[in-house]
Amino acid sequence: MNIYVINGPNINLLGTREPEIYGRDTLESIATTCIEKASKAGHKVDFMQSNYEGEIVEWIQDAIIQKVDVIIINAAAYTHTSIAIHDALKSYSGYKVELHISNPHLRETFRHISFISSAVNAVVAGLGPDGYGHVIDLLPDLPIKVN
Amino acid sequence: MSRSKLLIINGPGLSDLSVENEIAYDGLSLSSIEQKCIETSERFDLDVDFRQNDNVSELLSALIIDINKFDAFIINPAGSSKSSSIDYEAFSKALNKITNQSKPVVEVRIENIFKQDDTKPLNASDSGVGLISGLGDQGYILAIESINQKIVSNR
């Protein structure tokens, strides 16, 4: 399986930004965990982060062209604002999971709307930084059509 | 070390996952989900109590009484128009009681509720309450793995 893990704005600050909400793991350590877990299971992970909405849209378009099997996306704050990311995800026909470290529905009201949730197969939130690795572990048991 | 105890509660509509039900899922039955949960919990040395009740107030009053007896919780509130709809306030109270004791809790929904207009996730005061929506029966497995990790790292 080819897997894109796409992260949105401010996730590069993980480990230092509000650790009581997001934990002390850095993005680098999460990326290492994902890549190691995937390669043990014979999968390939491309782990990405951008603070720019358009770059995220282009990565999703790239996933369409490259026939990537799975997108795991933590669009962070763009979750609540980006119709462009919603549209790009709609165009991607592979398996897609929206992931959040904390549970946005239990935070400020402006985080309760997600433009991503209705465009994905599944939503996973509030499992902390370990959520990424848990989702990668689960992929072989999900109904994913592998290209 | 004594084994940690996990309580899994399933709300109205989940007793019957057949196609005649409004909540229909491909090839899933509550007993097959229960079996998978038991196997996964055993793998992690967790004791599991798997419950379903179409009567939400019975389900929740039993949960409130049992919060002290369990170390972690998975809640699928389900609900369908055939039975009562979700009593969000009652579920919130139960969730807050659990998080006040710093115990892990995950809301699991079999289908992606965000593709339906009339369903929203549960509310609670702690943003560490997990939410898994749309992974089918594997949502329960993911929840158990996450809960186990939290229990292990809290030891």
Structural contact between residues A117 and B134, judged by C-beta atoms closer than 8 angstroms: no
User: Looking at the domain assignment, is residue A146 inside a domain?
Assistant: no
Give the contacts of A101 (CB within 8 A, at least 6 positions apart). A14, A21, A22, A23, A74, A125, A126, A127, A128, A129, A131
Question: Which domain range does residue A37 map to?
Answer: 2-141
Q: Which of B114, B123, B146 sits opposite A106 (nearest CB)?
A: B123
Predicted pLDDT of residue B65: 95
User: Looking at the domain assignment, is residue A108 inside a domain?
Assistant: yes
| Average pLDDT by stretches of 10, chain A with 147 residues | 98 88 89 97 97 98 98 98 98 98 94 96 96 97 92
Beta strand ranges found along chain A (DSSP E):
2-7, 44-49, 70-74, 95-100, 122-125
User: Looking at the domain assignment, is residue A99 inside a domain?
Assistant: yes
User: Looking at the domain assignment, is residue A80 inside a domain?
Assistant: yes
Task: Identify the CA nearest to A32 among candidates A19, A49, A47.
Answer: A47
User: Looking at the domain assignment, is residue A147 inside a domain?
Assistant: no
CA-CA distance, A58 to A80, in Å (whole number)? 19
The CB density around residue A130, as the number of other CB atoms within 10 Å, is 18
Predicted pLDDT of residue A72: 98
B26: pLDDT strictly greater than 70: no
Integer-rounded Cα Rg, in Å, for chain B is 15
The verdict on a CB contact (< 8 Å) between B142 and A117 is no
The residue with tokens 């089918």 is: B136
Rounding to the nearest 10 degrees, give the CA dihedral for residues B111, B115, B116, B122: 70
Say which residue, A7 or B86, is predicted with more confidence. A7
Name the average pLDDT for chain B: 89
Domain count, chain A: 1
B81: pLDDT strictly greater than 70: no
B22: pLDDT strictly greater than 90: no
Distance from CA of B45 to the nearest CA of A (A): 18
Instruction: Mark whether A43 is an active-site residue.
Output: no
| Domain boundaries of chain B, sorted by first residue | 5-154
User: Looking at the domain assignment, is residue A119 inside a domain?
Assistant: yes
Q: What is the side-by-side strand order in the sheet with A95-100? A: A44-49, A2-7, A70-74, A95-100, A122-125, B130-133, B105-109, B72-76, B5-10, B47-52
Structural contact between residues A137 and A37, judged by C-beta atoms closer than 8 angstroms: yes
Instruction: Mark whether A105 is an active-site residue.
Output: no
Predicted pLDDT of residue A13: 94
The CATH number that applies at residue A18 is 3.40.50.9100
Predicted pLDDT of residue A16: 85
Looking at residues B36-56, what average pLDDT do you find?
Answer: 96
| Nearest residue on chain A to B137, alpha-carbon basis | A142
- Name the superfamily (CATH) of residues B5-154: Dehydroquinase, class II (3.40.50.9100)
| Nearest residue on chain A to B133, alpha-carbon basis | A123
What's at B115, amino acid-wise? K
Strands A44-49 and A70-74: unpaired
The residue with tokens 């399933």 is: B10
Predicted pLDDT of residue B83: 45
B127 at the A interface (CB within 8 A)?
yes
